[in-house]
Amino acid sequence: MTPEALLDCLSDLGIRIEANPDPGLVTVSPLSRLTPELRAEILAHKAELLAVLAHRVPPSKAWADQVQPPFERPPCDPRPELVVDSLAWAHLLAYASTDRADFRGLFGVLHGARRGGALLRFDRGRWRVEPRIDPAELTSIWHDQEAWEADRGRYLLPHRARLTKLLRLLPTPSRLGVPPSEVQAGVDALRALGWRLGLNAEGGLRAAHPDGLSAPDVAWLRAHVTAVLGQLLGVSR
């Protein structure tokens, strides 16, 4: 059993394992759930487990703690150790980044969800945001489905319309490649959200939305106006 598989097995059983302050030791609780076979596996792979635990990013204790994400450039997956869907998250966060001026916007909510351990799953031709249920809360802040549903209703559902449109931009798993640049992703996302982007008579940027202008999106456009013009003209600036 690999160290990652062993950690997942322990998590499924509600067993918490952490690096002990004393070098070379691990702390396991509750010991009552530990079978002789699992104890032997932990002892056999203790060094590898410690190495994995040292690099594992602990999830936040609450989704709300993560709704003001760092404004890294470019947007990237805050949980890259969850490798199965890391590339999909890098794409989605790039598309969602045009509302980063609003920390309660979709980008902040998605960033918090991913830090908490959320997954992107491709099912029946569409992507979905789903929880990673972890009774021991080692890799996820959601110990059961009820906890996820409560957070989903509070944080994610208010952005459902915007999220649905951006999820449609994600390629299928077999076609996921290098995430688009921030400007390319932003232009694609704004167009998917109903923005009309083009050039005005003076050669400047013309932007309009039938439902009115979103302040965070406008702030993003103003911050990237030169690069967006270059993208529309098909040149690098």
One digit per residue, the tens of pLDDT, for the chain of length 237 reads 787 788 778 776 767 787 776 777 888 877 877 888 888 988 988 888 888 777 665 555 566 565 555 555 668 898 888 899 999 999 999 999 998 877 678 998 999 899 899 999 999 999 999 999 988 877 888 988 998 998 898 889 989 999 999 999 999 999 999 888 989 999 999 999 999 999 988 888 999 988 876 788 988 999 899 999 998 887 544
**Residue 90's pLDDT is what?**
95
Say what the alpha-carbon torsion angle 101, 130, 133, 73 is, to the nearest 10 degrees.
Answer: -30
Is there a single domain that holds both residue 150 and residue 217?
A: no
Is there a single domain that holds both residue 27 and residue 78?
A: no
For the entire predicted model, the pTM comes to 0.72
Is there a single domain that holds both residue 85 and residue 111?
A: yes
Is residue 61 packed enough to be buried (19+ CB in 10 Å), middle (13-18) or exposed (0-12)? exposed
**Residue 56's pLDDT is what?**
60
What does the DSSP assignment read for 169-193? TSPPGGG--SPPPHHHHHHHHHHHT
Is there a single domain that holds both residue 72 and residue 163?
A: yes
End-to-end CA distance of the chain: 50
Domain extent, residue 195, equals: 182-233
Is there a single domain that holds both residue 124 and residue 205?
A: no
Which of these three, 27, 55, 83, is where a domain ends? 55
Distance of alpha carbon 180 from the chain centroid: 16
Which uninterrupted H or E stretch holds 157? none
Is there a single domain that holds both residue 128 and residue 84?
A: yes
Structural domain count of the chain? 3
Is there a single domain that holds both residue 132 and residue 162?
A: yes
What does the DSSP assignment read for 35-57? -HHHHHHHHHTHHHHHHHHHH--
Which of these three, 17, 37, 55, is where a domain ends? 55
Is there a single domain that holds both residue 69 and residue 167?
A: yes
Say what the alpha-carbon torsion angle 19, 78, 120, 228 is, to the nearest 10 degrees.
Answer: -170
**Residue 237's pLDDT is what?**
40
Is there a single domain that holds both residue 95 and residue 45?
A: no
Instruction: Quote the radius of gyration of the chain (alpha carbons, Å).
Output: 21
